[in-house]
Amino acid sequence: MTDPASEPSPVAPRTRRQWLALALVGVAIVGCVALFAGALLATMPGGRRTAGPHGVSSAPDAVASGSAGDAASGSTDGSGGGSGADSGVGSGSTGSDSGTSPGTISPASTGISSLADAAWIARVAAGTGIPSRALQSYAGAELRLAQEQPGCRLRWSTLAAIGSVESGHGSHDGSVLGADGTVAPAIISIALDGRTTDAIRDSDGGALDGDARWDRAVGPMQFLPSTWARFGADGSGDGVADPQNLDDAALTAGRYLCFDGADLATDAGWIAAIASYNDTLDYNHLIADAAKRYARVR
């Protein structure tokens, strides 16, 4: 009789088959992840995989002379309410964007609306349909941030994309962007009372949004009052940080996007920055599509 110990183990073949099955499952998972990541990265402005982050509730790309590139807690319609920077998740652009330069950098004490070259503003406004006064804010914010945080490399087209999605460049619900960059009437979103948005209790006694019970996103770049209290910037140079002023709001959005030291000229940095503004894939796609469209204009 053959020694049972010398017979092949009936367990071994099954174990090998199990390992083979697990390996095949692993390969399938890796493949799915790679396909998803590729599809996401392909939506980034410029569409390049080698380079390359809405409604801000708490916290532009690089520009050099002769080149150009290319935010905010709930959306104005309430779809993004409470999902922004206060939650740590919110706009920027990718370094794959390119174009002509908005201009050169002026002293930090100058309002940002005067930083961009007038001929560039006229040409790009005509090509993109962005109001000239709004474009001055976006381009000026890029130039100022290139001076303040050159490693961030945020582009104007990302800020413009956020401004478009959030408020139609300050035109939401009949508002008009004035020559001084301030919108009138003021843009104030729905109450973030938890019914169709996150529930966010009042943080400023209604000072910015007129609501002492619930917070509301304010201004053309849609910031939560708590975010504005921390990051609000004076981009107009008048000594006041006003969320209803697009110069102030665009510069604040840029500083918020650049806050954690991300490089928005990389895909990972751009995606993370937009997610800090509004952490939804749909929002990322909206911003990426708009930013790519704007960046095509030279």
Place 92 in a pLDDT band, splitting at 50, 70 and 90.
very low
Higher pLDDT, 170 or 104: 170
Q: How far is CA 101 from the centre of its chain?
A: 21
Domain limits, the chain: 42-295
pTM for this predicted structure: 0.69
Q: Is the pLDDT of residue 185 over 90?
A: yes
Ranges 1-15, 109-123, 127-141: which has the least confidence: 1-15
Angle at 137 between CA 177 and CA 148, to 5 degrees: 150
pLDDT tens per residue, range 7-62: 333 334 445 555 455 555 555 554 544 444 443 333 333 332 222 223 332 223 32
Give the Å distances, CA to CA, from 161 to 130, 171, 210, 214.
Answer: 10, 14, 27, 27
Higher pLDDT, 268 or 3: 268
Q: What is the pLDDT of residue 180?
A: 97
Q: Is the pLDDT of residue 74 over 70?
A: no
Provide the 10 A C-beta neighbour count for residue 289: 14
Asked if 295 and 157 count as a contact pair (C-beta separation under 8 A), the reply is yes
